[in-house]
Structure 1
Amino acid sequence: MTELTDRYLFAATRTLPATQREELSRDLAERIADTIEARVDSGASTPETAERDALVELGHPAALAASYSDRPLVLIGPKYFLTWKRLLIFLESFIPAIAAGASALGLVISGGGWEVIGSAIGIGITVAVHLAFWVTLVFAMIERYDTGTGKGVDDTLGWTPEQLPQLPELRRPHRRSDLIASLVWLAIAAGFLVWQQFGIVWIGGERSSVPLLDPALWSFWLPYLFLLIALEAAFAVWIYRRDWSWAAALVNVALNAAFAIPVIWLFVEGRLFSPEFLALIEPHLDADAEWVLSVLFVAAVIGVSAWDAIDGLIKAARGGGRGTLDFPGNRSPRSGRA
């Protein structure tokens, strides 16, 4: 045994527990000697190069040690990767949004101004990063210290052929009616944005010309809302043609955020409703009533947007037909849902 082999044995065994170190060192020394002898006898190497060639054939000592000790050299291997991915996507789909919404609502209640939006987004991002870190850490520990049950990926996920997705038309036979309903409601919303400009306030039994939304919003924000309505219509057609998927669900989350964040910001800044409309209703409200209505308005915008976003994520989970976890949309037999 030369110094080169000694160095290889040291590199291969230094990270192992003491109880395994001696046994692996002995087995490796015998394997190296046999490989050297075999290479020389076969003529694959000369006596001078046989040792180095044998070590090259054995490969990186850390990888060899990992194979002996059954310690994977990956953070999360294939056995747990799909479970980790599905759980992480599911948790990231709503927990950061809920945290951001709750933060925004609390800041509005405490009298916060425009900084509400930035603070809520920052909290949502922080929660998302922590969530990804801790979920990944837990699965990395499971991967590292798995006792080895011999189960494969299918056993770990509890996968069966019954969990295969249905064909689109069989899975959602009423997609056309969903599309029609969505387009009708979007048309109503677009019509309302135009109609409100001509006044929706009744004074003395007659409609006044006082607009609900501030006419100054026509410079940008009302056209922006019309653009969102057009994007929502295109999205509804996409769902009709392709059905729900995780990509569609994430686009739905983005569209809801694109609506809720500017509306709340404009409301908090006092730029959403027209001054004429506020002047008409404020004499009929005291400070407590204004505060309650403000909180209810913000909560309603966040609640409706969050509900629609989560509903899309649940539909994506159901549509994928790969449920392996206990959450709405799971179709795994062990969850008791079909």
Structure 2
Amino acid sequence: MPTTTTLTEKYISATIRSLPATSQADVRAELEASIADAVEARTDQGEPRDSAERAVLTELGDPGALAADYADRPLHLIGPRYFLVWWRLFKLLLWIVPACAAFGVAIAKILEFATIGETIGAIVVVIIQVIVNLGFWTVLVFAILERTVPVPEAQWTVDQLPEHYETRAGWSEMIGSVIFLALAAAAILWDALRGFVRADGEALPILNPELWPWGMTALLVLMMAELALAIAVYRVGRWTVPLAVVNTVLAVAFAVPALYLLITGQLVNPEFLNYLATEHGEELAMANAGAAEQGGVFRVVTTVFAVVTAGIVVWDIIDGWVKTARARRA
């Protein structure tokens, strides 16, 4: 005769199937014993066994949720431990990254002599894409942290307020650096491999391909060093003089060659400039005529890029030393 699977057996099987094999037997034995005791307690009070079994299993709830409790596995993407840190970081990135991306797209469209409508459309599209990517990648990072970083055993007390604040600030700064550097590295690799501009169906890099492999490799190494610095700040819990010195050295190491290549015309791909001159000759002539007193449109764009790059580097250096001074006073 075929055997009939009881509700209890179905419930236990549904609970333990997502657990590690090493713990399934123990959980099964525990559930069988606890369910049997609960059912027996109800039947001793005169309740029919079938209804008692159904009531006990209903009180235990969804077997998937019960399995998550046994496995100490969260049923949310970001829990209360990291939600506020994620929210503050996300709002900070929303102020910085979309604006930088919009500025870059605007410059690229100016170099392509696009119309105002095309420029605005491209800026809107890239802002939407950046916001979506920021939301996705920050949630993904914190969801992984939620499931991999163990919960601290000590309970929170008021005495932890100053250290707690510094740690969270360092944490947000580290995550922000990870995301920003990842996006920057992806943009560099995309420009080299896929191209932001395509001519006759072929990728046309904006950055000079002759900078590969040594120049771009050095840039990627500097970016990794920046990431290591952010991690070091987080591990220490505050900015220190040695960390500020390292930050200054890295900033100068990036700025000096970048500005040199930009000013000497070695940063931008000559074929990209030829493409602009060929495909947008009339617009280029008009733009050069309008900017003749300033040396032409390319000189104006180069100057803008140089000023922006120098400004960012100087701000980064000053910011590191200001944070160091605040940490020493505290």
TM-score by length of 2: 0.49
Q: Which has the higher contact order (CA 8 A, sep 6+)?
A: 1
Q: Which has the higher helix share?
A: 2
TM-score, normalised on structure 1?
A: 0.48
